[in-house]
Structures are given as structure tokens and as C-alpha cells.
Structure 1
Amino acid sequence: MGLIQVYAKPVGKKGDGLEKYMKVGIFIADSNGGYPVPASKGGAVSTLIEHLVKGNNEEKLVDMDIVTIYDPKAEQMSKAYPNINFIWIKPPAVVKWLDSVFFFLVRKAFKNMKAVSYKSLFSLLFYILKVKSILKWGSYDKVVLENNVPLAWIIKLSKYKGDYYYHFHNIPRINAKCKDVFQNCTAILCVSEFVAKQIQRADNPIGPISPGKTKVLYNCIDTDHFSRVKDQSIIKMWKRKYGIGENEKVIVFVGRLSAEKGADKLLEAAIKLNRKDVKVLIVGSLIYNVNIQDEYQQKLHELAKRSGKQVKFTGYISQKELPIIYSIADIAVLPSVWDEPAGLTMIEAMACGTPVITTNAGGIPEYVGKYGVVVDRNSDLTDDLSCRITDLLSMDSNLEHMEDAGVRHVKDKFSYKEYIMNFYGCIGKQNE
């Protein structure tokens, strides 16, 4: 089956430049795993779009379509949002088979390449070919394409002439031979000033985009979910699970276990720290809920052995359980070594009252502000991390002030309710 639809009838209301009953279509698909909305398989972009879904379901601002890859669990989760229209694109078995074969071949043939980017390539192509017709009968007032550059082909193939927006969660590295699509966008939404400035450059594959066409839409988290876990029985149970003693300090890393996220820098810092009263939790995997081992993960395990028994690898932890992980930690160390477009994991930790040490990378400082410890990415990174960890562990009462300030900062700027209103502020009025 190619298309499955679930219908709902939202009741719109005026606000922020939007007309009553305005119809907005959000198109989301990817080549690195086929993450659906609702975010049944995780995924940063899918999770963020679910926040838009949640906000619009509550506020009923517009008639919203979510056009997404089919997943049975996601379909069940969608029932929690009766005021949203979900249009499901279901790749047939042969397409899924092509995905798995191609991903296997890429991983075998190009061991040093980021193979995860090709995990669901054929499903993405199928999605593009299927949904181009939706633009013709969807009668949308506004169309939003989420992040994936090849989705521009939907506009090109359908010859769509209405208002459309690209929402970039990363810096585009290709233009998929669709540079004209990006140049003709009504506007491009960027998750940070850093991303906006990158696509304004002439040397960016889709650039230069006029500054007047870029709008910053900062990411959000569910601050109702990401908050301190105060039940000490839960905290003690999870500490026992990972062999953490009552008086031991806990440092946590949360993220994809790939080189750009910098987990190795934390482990090197932990070796320099050489404290037997400190446990390090490495939370995450290379791919959602799949414990695939590559050369980088082998490096992490070798570093862990050098620290004795102070490092624990948890594997994938669900979004539902992440607040517990943050709450058992004394410090979250998230030392990204690439130009991270935004700082989502950082604000998740801060919302749970966990002090953050991170890097001056990409858009991260825009999210953390003055409420976390930000160090430079340079040859002294490992030493700097070790020193900052030592400093924070010795702060005591001042650390509590830092925790409280971080919680307030995230709630004030990065709640999903702020996000939905900012989103509609971005698409509500056409550029002058």
C-alpha cells in the first residue's frame, strides 16, 4: 500500500497573521532510518515536529497535515492528536528490501563513510515520488519541508507555485540539483543564527540565501517531560542498575556514538581526572535502538578499559527514560567537536537541573547562553574538560544556583508552547 490517511477536522482561530482555517502541510522524510511523526522511533527532527503537532492539537490554530513515513506504532500514537490530519506513506516490501541491501553494501564497501545516511534511501525516493501529487490536491496555504535536501524534488516535480518554506535543522551540504527551489522559498527557517549565517554564504551549496529570507526558529523540548525526577526510590533503583555507589559522582554523556559528538573526549578527560569516586555513563548508540559496533565505538570501549571500572555503556535509552538518566547525573558533559547546528541535548539536561559542560560549537552557545560551561574546541579540549569537571564537582551550593538558573532559562525560552507560537510567527506573514 502506498498511501494511508487519517482525517481530523481542526477548528482554526485567528492569530499571528494566520487566517482562520489556514491549511498547512508539513512534509517529513529522511534517508537515515525513516523516522516517522509521531516520533515512535525517536529522531531529533521527528521529535520536534511532534511538538508542533502537540501544540497545534491543543491550540487549534490551523488545519495541519503531517505527511510522514508509515509506522504502526506511530499510527497508534497519532490517535492522541485528534485535531491533526496524518497522511501516511507506506513503502512496499521491495523498497524496504532495497533499503536493507543498499545499506549493507555501503557499510561493507565504505567503512569510513557515514553509512547511516543511506539506511532508508529508497524509502525516501519512494516518498518523494508518492507525495508530489499530494501538493496538487492538498490545497495548502503554506507548505513546510523538513530538513532533508532531496525533498526539494517534491516542489520541482509537482511544479508547486504556492508559499513554501524549508526548515533546516542542519547546514545543507548538497543542493540535490534543486538550487532554484531554495532560492524561490517564501522563507527558510533555521534552528540557529549559526545555520542562518551559513546558508547566507555564497559558498554554501544552496546559497547565497538573502538574509531577508532567513528566519531563526529555535528548537524546543517538552519541559513537562524533561524535568527533575525527585522520587529518590527511582533514582536509587537506576543507580543500582549501573553499579553506582551512594557516594559516587555521576557524569553523563547522551548522544549518538559517532566521532563528531565527542564522547571520546569525555573518556580521555575521565582518564586524566583519575577519580575512583566518579562514574561515567555513556548513553546512546550509532543508530536508533540498534547496537551496531564500528571502529569509533571500539575506540570508546578501549578508552573505557583504561579508566578501570568507572565507565558504563547503557546503549540506547528511550526519551521516556532520559529524564531519569539526567537526574541521577551530577554533570552532563556534551563535548561536540563539529559545528552542531543547535544544542537540544544540552537544554534537555539543563531542564532536568543537570549542570552542562559543552563546547563553543556551531549553534550550541545560542541555546546554552550563560547558564552552562562552554569550552573551546582546540587541542586543549581534553584538559579543559577535566578541569571544568573538577571545578563543578567542588562547587556545592553554587552548583545548586547554576542548576536552578538553567531550569528557568529552558522553561522561559525552549518550551513547546513557545515553539508553536514562534513557528506560526515565522510562517504567518509573507516576507515584505
Structure 2
Amino acid sequence: MRILMICTEKLPVPNIRGGAIQTYIGGVAELLSRQHSITVIGRSDPELPQEETRGGVRYLRFPSDGLLDVYMDHVIPYLAQNEETYDVIHIFNRPRLVLPVASVRPSTRIVLSMHNDMFNSMKLSREEGEAVVERVDTIITISNYIGAVICRDYPQAEPKIRTIYSGVDLGKFAPWKQSASAQRDREAIRSKHQLGNKKVILFVGRLSRNKGPHVLIRAMSSLRHSDAVLVIVGAAWYSDNRISDYIAYLKALAEKSPIPVLTTGYVQANEVHQWFCAADVFVCTSIWEEPLARVHYEAMAAGLPLVTTARGGNPEIIRNNNGVIISNPEDPEEYAGALNRLLGDAGNARQMGLHGRKLVEDHFTWSHVAGNVQEVWSEASNRPIEAVSDSTGGGEGTEGGVEG
């Protein structure tokens, strides 16, 4: 089949500047290109050509300035003028793109992948949301939670919802006791940052209040393991090491912590796996209703026990004793209790990590994800053309939300 994948306007693909959606597309596109002709549209970047083919995938890039309207002003005219046909157009996380794309490709089947709640009334008008649900063949969601949120407002979407969890590269993220390269990365990182044999508690993510790292720093006051260190990997935004007010607040908290706190700033996407290799336990502190943070998959692939929160889709990843769920993510004492138990029982923590690794091997590799996506494409392409709605009008809606 001939497939067009349209990424969001925020970050380029491949994921040279990070981004969960960009990582997702990069993880599956080359695998899918072995059986299909894949074109990926994304935003332009000074370090990437406007057009190129790599790994069997054709990439087209358009200016966006990080704004969807600017992006659409380039993408839609291109699709209107370009005579190349596609069996399926797969749009990522931007329901507002669906109707403009459909208006210039009225007979093409459209699949929509949702990584965030972009259907809510602050981002999409009710009228446009209903038209989008009618027009698309399938709505892929990265968690059951996101599917449920969409169906809460649009019950008619339920037959079209399909949860496909994200994936991870098992070669890059590996338990250090089972991988020579992971062990080298662990030793190199620990040596560079004078971590020695300390018990490393790891947080990886964008540094914003709704991600909750300030609660984790406060939890260090009740940690009973003086040989521990908290490592916070991330920045306020991808590829941006500016000190926001919140990051300044985190640094002030860290200076008062009885347990050392190391903040790394932004780490390149192709280097962040080294920190997972260096860690002993991974903590996701999301306070908001997180769709399902992809860092969970990376931590599990690295053989780390998880501590995550009962928010959004995050609890869906805790299975078969691979981690602990924090019921109140704003309570430092609950984190401290969970970490004290994990760091105090290395054998149990290791078993949790091994369970997580096995879970990833069985369900969350990029091969699994690509296979599931291919099923969706095949089902869409095999439907009679009459099943494709001719609803191609569209309103402007309201842009907003956080890039996934």
C-alpha cells in the first residue's frame, strides 16, 4: 500500500529533538516500509533537508513555526496540488488536520492516532469533532484512558477506537546486567558524574509542574537511604536548556535536599538511554492525567522497577508485579515509602525490573506496534469505498494542548 503519515507541527521527524510522537513514527516507519511505500510529512528543521529518503522512508518537511495553522498553510496546498495517490493517510494527534486533508483527498481513507486529549472543547469545536469522528476509519489511541476520554464526549467514536500501546528499541534500552553495551554506558555515566555505587533514582521528562518532579525532590527528605542520589533528566522543552521559573524552583528545592539531586538539563534523544542504564529505579511523578508516558517503556526495557502515578493511562502499564502505583501523586511521603521499600529490597526490585523487561519483549517492541498499525491500515483499505464518509467540511476549532 501507499501510505502517507502526517506528523505534528511541533518537532521534526526523525526525532532529532525528542518527542514521543516523533519517536513513535521513527520506531515504526522503517519497519512498515519493508512492505509498504511510506511517505512522512513533518515540520522543517535547520538540520534536516526539505526532502530526503532514509531507511526506505520518504520524508517531506514544511515550515510551521510550531503553529498548526502555519503548518496547514503548507501541507494542505501540497496535497491539493500533488497528484500522488495514497491508500491511507495516517494523521498523528491533530484532529484539526482531518477535515482539511479530507477536503483535498475526499476518497482516501484516513486513520487518526491520538496521543493526547485533543478532542476536548478547548481545542476542537463540537461540530468539527463530530465531523472528524464520522470521517476517519479508525482512531488509534496510545492508552485505554485516551480512548475512554474521547468516547465520553463522542460516544459514536467507540466502534472506531483501537488502543495500540507504544514501543521501544530493545537493543538500545537493555538491563545492564544482561548487556555489555548497557554496562559500559552505566559505568561511563556513573564515572562522569561521580555516582560510584550509589542507588540512582531516575526521573526523565519535561520539567513542568504537571509532571511533578518537585514532589519527588521533597520526598528525598523522608528517604532512609543515605547512599541514594536523585537524577532528574530533562528541560522545560525539547532541545531548550533555558531556566524557567519552575526549573529555578526545582534547583532551589534540590539545594535543600538531604539526598543529592543531580539535574542534567536537556539530554539528546540518542543519548538518554544511557541514563536508564545507569539507574536502579525509575519514577514517573505525573500529577496531571497523563495519556501514558512513553518513558515507562524505556524504563522497563532497561530492566528498572517502576514507580508511577494513578493518573490517566499510566496505571495501564503496571502489570505482573513490574512496579508500584502512587495513589496520591502530590504526597511526597507516598513516594518516599515506595522508594524505601524498593531500595531496601534489591532482590524484589530486580525481579520487578525483570518482569518489566519480559513485558516489553512480549508486547511493546516496535515490531509489535508496527504489526498492529499494519492491521489497522489493512482493515481500512479493505473497506468498500462507499464506507468512506464524504464529510469534508471543517471549522477552525481552537488549537491548544501539549505535544505528545
TM-score bucket of the superposed structures, by smaller chain: 0.7 to 0.9
CA distance in structure 2 between the partners assigned to 1:208 and 1:216 by the alignment:
16
1:199 partnered with 2:150: yes
Out of 194, 202, 208, which is 1:243 matched to? 194
1:218 partnered with 2:165: yes
- In structure 2, stretches of 5+ residues that fail to align are 388-404
1:298-348 CA distance string (max 9 Å, x none): 221121111056001101112322222112111111111111112310110
Give the match for residue 291 of structure 2.
Answer: 341
Give the match for residue 188 of structure 1.
Answer: 139
CA gap 1:211/1:226 in 2 versus in 1, 3 angstroms: same
CA gap 1:76/1:253 in 2 versus in 1, 3 angstroms: farther
Instruction: Please report how far the alpha carbon of residue 262 of structure 1 lies from its aligned counterpart in structure 2 after TM superposition.
Output: 1.3
- Relative to the length of structure 1, the TM-score reads 0.80
- In structure 1, stretches of 5+ residues that fail to align are 1-21, 100-118
- Aligned pairs for 1:17-416 within 5 A: 22-30=1-9, 34-57=10-33, 60-71=34-45, 73-75=47-49, 79-81=53-55, 83-89=56-62, 91=63, 99=65, 119-121=66-68, 123-133=70-80, 137-155=83-101, 157-158=103-104, 160-172=106-118, 173=120, 174-175=123-124, 178-179=128-129, 180-202=131-153, 207-229=154-176, 230=180, 232-244=183-195, 246-273=196-223, 275-308=225-258, 310-378=260-328, 381-416=331-366
SS in 1 for 2:320: helix
Instruction: Please report how far the alpha carbon of residue 208 of structure 1 lies from its aligned counterpart in structure 2 after TM superposition.
Output: 3.3
CA gap 1:161/1:71 in 2 versus in 1, 3 angstroms: same
Instruction: Please report how far the alpha carbon of residue 267 of structure 1 lies from its aligned counterpart in structure 2 after TM superposition.
Output: 0.6
CA gap 1:218/1:249 in 2 versus in 1, 3 angstroms: same
CA distance in structure 2 between the partners assigned to 1:363 and 1:319 by the alignment:
23
Query: Is the 8 Å Cα contact of residues 17 and 238 (structure 2) preserved in structure 1?
Result: yes
Instruction: Please report how far the alpha carbon of residue 396 of structure 1 lies from its aligned counterpart in structure 2 after TM superposition.
Output: 2.1
Query: Is the 8 Å Cα contact of residues 37 and 74 (structure 1) preserved in structure 2?
Result: no
Query: Is the 8 Å Cα contact of residues 17 and 269 (structure 2) preserved in structure 1?
Result: no
CA distance in structure 2 between the partners assigned to 1:352 and 1:371 by the alignment:
16
CA gap 1:272/1:181 in 2 versus in 1, 3 angstroms: same
- Count of residues in Structure 1 that have an aligned counterpart in Structure 2: 373
Query: Is the 8 Å Cα contact of residues 365 and 374 (structure 1) preserved in structure 2?
Result: no
Query: Percent of counterpart pairs with the same letter?
Result: 25
Give the match for residue 116 of structure 1.
Answer: none
CA distance in structure 1 between the partners assigned to 2:271 and 2:342 by the alignment:
25
Instruction: Please report how far the alpha carbon of residue 75 of structure 1 lies from its aligned counterpart in structure 2 after TM superposition.
Output: 4.3
Instruction: Please report how far the alpha carbon of residue 221 of structure 1 lies from its aligned counterpart in structure 2 after TM superposition.
Output: 1.2
CA distance in structure 2 between the partners assigned to 1:415 and 1:396 by the alignment:
27
1:85-140 CA distance string (max 9 Å, x none): 22232x2xxx7xxx4xxxxxxxxxxxxxxxxxxx4456424334444416x62311
Query: Is the 8 Å Cα contact of residues 201 and 209 (structure 1) preserved in structure 2?
Result: no
Query: Is the 8 Å Cα contact of residues 310 and 328 (structure 2) preserved in structure 1?
Result: no
Query: Is the 8 Å Cα contact of residues 322 and 353 (structure 2) preserved in structure 1?
Result: no
RMSD (CA atoms) = 2.4
Task: Name whichever of 366-375 and 395-404 sits farther off.
Answer: 366-375
1:140-199 CA distance string (max 9 Å, x none): 111111102332343254262321111101112322563212322111111111111111
CA gap 1:49/1:339 in 2 versus in 1, 3 angstroms: same
